[in-house]
Structure 1
Amino acid sequence: MRKNKFNNFPENFLWGGAIAASQADGAFDIGGKQPNTSDVQPYLKGLSNQEIQQLEKQGMTLKQVTKNLNDTSSYYPKRYGIDFYHTFESDLELLAEMGFRTFRTSIDWSRIFPNGTETEPNEVALDYYDRLIDKMLSLNIEPIITMLHYETPINVTLNYGGWQNKQVIDMFERYGKTLLERFGNKVKYWIVINQINMIQVEPFLSLAICSDQYENMEQAEYQAVHNQLVASAKIRKYAKKLPFDLEIGTMVADGTVYPYSCKPDDVILAMKHNRMQYLFTDVQFNGVYPQYAKNYFTENDISINITPDEISLLKENTMDYLAISYYFSQMVNSDIDSEKPESTSSNPNLIENAWGWNIDPQGLYNTLSQYADRYHKPIIIAENGFGAYDEIVDGKIHDDYRIDYLSKHIEQIGRAIYDGVEVIAFCAWGPIDIVSCSSQQMSKRYGFIYVDIDDEGNGTKKRIKKDSFNWYKEVIHTNGANI
């Protein structure tokens, strides 16, 4: 441990962690649940990390989805997760032992409304989430609940064409209202849609759109995310009518970039790239589509169906707070990169992890500062963590690399708070090992707690405390003074 030179965390700061139902719960065939977008992603054995990530960016075809739904020979890790559905009580007790003050997880849409089209919710699923939230509260853990974290019912993809279809807005609104009515007296903090800006990086998971469903995919993607923005505003509008203390937030994955050099072309490309990353939060906090976005749509032959009622709805129902995920920083080089979100270059000044992510603690300070200066809203760090291959040595896991990564990032959060940024929570990603979203691997581990399951689902499921477990316990105990 070392002293934090930016020890500025408020007394009521919410220290904790975050997972997603789609990566942890398992129990894919229990309680009336039907498949969602995450359930059709197989583990791609034998491929490199880079090959897996490239396939993720390409998305999935309708043929692949249909095939995978009926496939009995491949392993689908997210259908099983870490069996959190059955182990949540003991797992939450381990988190409480670290002193967790908050825990972020998601509710699986495909449990509550298994096909998305039902008019009445699944009571078995609602009862499960009642028990999960009640357990958190009994341990003095503040729930932060995400309504959608890559769990769109697969029926929405197959029979409605994903979020591009405006009918999905009404389906999701019914789902969101159900959650607020059922759990609004227990849950204050809600994130409507996880990483709403991932439309071109993870189009299938984010928008439930297959890569061959539309001739103009970019138009379909921006129409789909517009529909998500409208659905979010509808839920925000409804929340204001309820007699609960509710905070409705939006979430983005940090996709802002540095210029490769001080060459004007690099600086301008970075500026344009960043503006298109701010598009989502500009709409959700300012209530209007900015002119730069309208220009981009015109220049790229993108025509979005936006009604006058939707324009008013967005303007009148902006979000209460911003949640961000941050793992690494990115850079653009005007000689080889474009304005597209996925078009970035590796930074030669930074070290990469095994998945090609540039490790950059100061990048978190930078992005927190930029978002705070732009919107003046409270911020939750909804995800931050270090994926690595952990080894068990004499029954122990010595993960100094994870401690080093997190301590440096926590210090930069304190630096931002010193500058006046209102950060209210820190949720370390994957405090207990879960299936990787991008690679379907268990071996890409983030947790303070090791789960004995391998990439093909073998193992005892035993939980083992890593060295980082006691480290994070001390961080929370000292409210960030010792890191």
Structure 2
Amino acid sequence: MSNKYTFPEGFWWGSATSGPQCEGTFNKPHKSVFDYWYEVEPEAFFDKVGPGVTSNFYNSYKEDLAMLKEIGLNSFRTSIQWTRLIKDLETGEPDEDGVRFYNDVIDETIKNGMIPVMNLHHFDLPVELYNKYGGWESKHVVELFVNFAETAFKLFSDRVKYWTTFNEPMVVVEGQYLYQFHYPKVVDGRKAVQVLYNINLASAKAIKKFRELKCENNGGKIGIVLNLTPAYPRSNSEEDLRASKIADTMFNYSFLDPAVKGEFPELLVELLSKDGVLWESSEEELEIIKENKIDFLGVNYYQPRRVKVKEYEFDESKGWMPEKYFDYYDMPNKRMNPYRGWEIYPESMYDIAINIRDNYNNIPWYISENGMGVEGEEKYKNEDGSIQDDYRIEFLEEHLQYLHKGIEEGSNCFGYHSWTPIDCWSWSNAYKNRYGYIALDLDTQKKTIKKSGKWIREVSKNNGF
């Protein structure tokens, strides 16, 4: 049987997780903002399940990585936790157990024939840096992040060839400083904008450090992982088009442009200046951002954004917010994932691919996350106890078809990672929605390959489907 969709040679078929979502809190020298939030407000988490054990990767990484090999994955992304690797947050001195653990994970990943991709920040800022300095509001924290990055590069870049600085940094801005879905749940547009700037700066400074250490000399590359949610206008009217352009600029291009082009979008700077909320920056910092662009881009895609011209009066009481410039549009008859409340729109895969090709120097990029969270998956169990997640296979195939079209038309995409290999803990949603190729029984920690895990093994083997 020949493939209908064949992907480029050497294509990455992989999956992504993160330290805070799979490792558990065993032996960590510091608490992250999430560890702390769970301690003070456990009821904010679905079924009051916190990050304590999660999928137990800290203890079961050998068995887990063997299962990833079994389902045919050739690459695997996780994150190195700042709270686990670093003992002294000011100097960047490492913790012995953290070094041992990540060395073992990297070696084991390679032993199982998978390319390790290591990310440095997945929403898990050490809480003491928030309490002491205001977290990402502080440029001192930017420097401390660079110290952490330097420690990680020195320890692991002999074996890790693909690094990313941040995962979905826009979510830090949105969750912590605008829409209250991550601790500390502040609503402050001015702080949000400064955090957005500071994280862009932190990423560029970490990249600068990577190059100073000459990590690229042994084949190392460094990028960033951004969640791109293309903004589609309600209509082709000038007003709706402008609303979608502003939404894209604020939520997507505010990180994409500095990472790939080395500068912030003019429209963003213009609007924030006019509104009196532009970040504090120096010429020297902007030069660092300009000089230290990424080698490759990771794109997390889950859902589109639908917008229209502002029809409702903007509520000034909360201060500055992006919604000053557009309203959300509820498109009739859209396909929904009812469990997550997210629209299913695989066509965006193609739109993203072409946008990167045409407007972002056709930079090498890959899909670093894409997936479908489903609640109550145990109702799809077979007699043998495995989950028949045909809906997930269908979702992934549809997204891959549109990605394939973009690649056929010249977009420089080199891989596809699902979220996630093994059902993992997901912030305040905890284990409400499951995403994995491999099911996790929370009570017994037993892991079972789902139908989608057998499907991806075939896809990877055939480099297509």
Question: Is the TM value for this pair above 0.5?
Answer: yes
Cα offset, 1:159, TM superposition: 1.2
Number of the residue aligned with 1:444: 433
1:22 maps onto 2:20 in alignment:
yes
Aligned residues of 2:86 and 2:98 also touching (Cα < 8 A): no
| Per-residue Cα deviation, 1:341-360 (whole angstroms, up to 9, x for no partner) | 99533332421112211101
Cα offset, 1:68, TM superposition: 4.1
In 1: Cα distance, 2:364 partner to 2:218 partner = 19
1:357 maps onto 2:332 in alignment:
no
In 1: Cα distance, 2:259 partner to 2:81 partner = 23
Cα offset, 1:115, TM superposition: 6.6
Number of the residue aligned with 1:286: 261
Alignment of 1:67-106 (within 5 A): 67-68=40-41, 75-106=48-79
1:235 maps onto 2:206 in alignment:
yes
Aligned residues of 2:340 and 2:433 also touching (Cα < 8 A): no
Number of the residue aligned with 1:38: 34
Cα offset, 1:127, TM superposition: 1.0
CA RMSD of aligned residues (A): 2.5
| Per-residue Cα deviation, 1:359-402 (whole angstroms, up to 9, x for no partner) | 01111111221122211201111100111121234322111100
In 2: Cα distance, 1:465 partner to 1:134 partner = 23
Question: Which residue type is aligned with residue 351 of structure 2?
Answer: N
In 1: Cα distance, 2:162 partner to 2:330 partner = 35
Cα offset, 1:76, TM superposition: 4.4
In 2: Cα distance, 1:244 partner to 1:207 partner = 40
Q: TM-score, length-normalised on structure 2?
A: 0.89
Cα offset, 1:424, TM superposition: 1.1
Number of the residue aligned with 2:359: 374
- Structure 2, unmatched stretches of 5+, are 315-321
Number of the residue aligned with 2:241: 267
Worse-matched range after superposition: 274-283 or 82-91: 274-283
Q: Secondary structure at the match of 1:79?
A: coil
In 1: Cα distance, 2:189 partner to 2:59 partner = 40
Worse-matched range after superposition: 391-400 or 352-361: 391-400
Cα offset, 1:143, TM superposition: 0.6
Q: Secondary structure at the match of 2:452?
A: helix
Cα offset, 1:188, TM superposition: 0.8
| Per-residue Cα deviation, 1:142-171 (whole angstroms, up to 9, x for no partner) | 011110001110101111111111110111
Worse-matched range after superposition: 271-280 or 136-145: 271-280
Number of the residue aligned with 1:50: none
Aligned residues of 1:39 and 1:76 also touching (Cα < 8 A): no
Cα offset, 1:78, TM superposition: 1.6
Number of the residue aligned with 1:10: 8
In 1: Cα distance, 2:310 partner to 2:273 partner = 24
Instruction: Report % sequence identity.
Output: 28
Counterpart pick for 1:428 among 415, 418, 442: 418
In 1: Cα distance, 2:335 partner to 2:29 partner = 42
Number of the residue aligned with 2:195: 224
Query: Going by fraction, where is helix more abundant, 1 or 2?
Result: 2
Q: TM-score, length-normalised on structure 1?
A: 0.86
Number of the residue aligned with 2:130: 157
Number of the residue aligned with 2:219: 245
Aligned residues of 2:21 and 2:426 also touching (Cα < 8 A): yes
Aligned residues of 1:99 and 1:473 also touching (Cα < 8 A): yes
Aligned residues of 2:88 and 2:94 also touching (Cα < 8 A): no
In 1: Cα distance, 2:327 partner to 2:460 partner = 38
In 2: Cα distance, 1:237 partner to 1:318 partner = 9
Pairs aligned (count): 443
In 2: Cα distance, 1:160 partner to 1:40 partner = 16
Q: Secondary structure at the match of 1:197?
A: helix
Number of the residue aligned with 1:397: 387
Cα offset, 1:298, TM superposition: 1.5
Q: Secondary structure at the match of 1:363?
A: helix
In 2: Cα distance, 1:202 partner to 1:153 partner = 16
Question: Which residue type is aligned with residue 300 of structure 1?
Answer: D
Number of the residue aligned with 2:319: none
Number of the residue aligned with 2:332: 348
In 2: Cα distance, 1:369 partner to 1:474 partner = 28
Number of the residue aligned with 2:317: none
- Cα 1:373/1:207, change in 2 over 3 Å: farther
- Structure 1, unmatched stretches of 5+, are 43-64, 454-458
In 2: Cα distance, 1:322 partner to 1:85 partner = 28
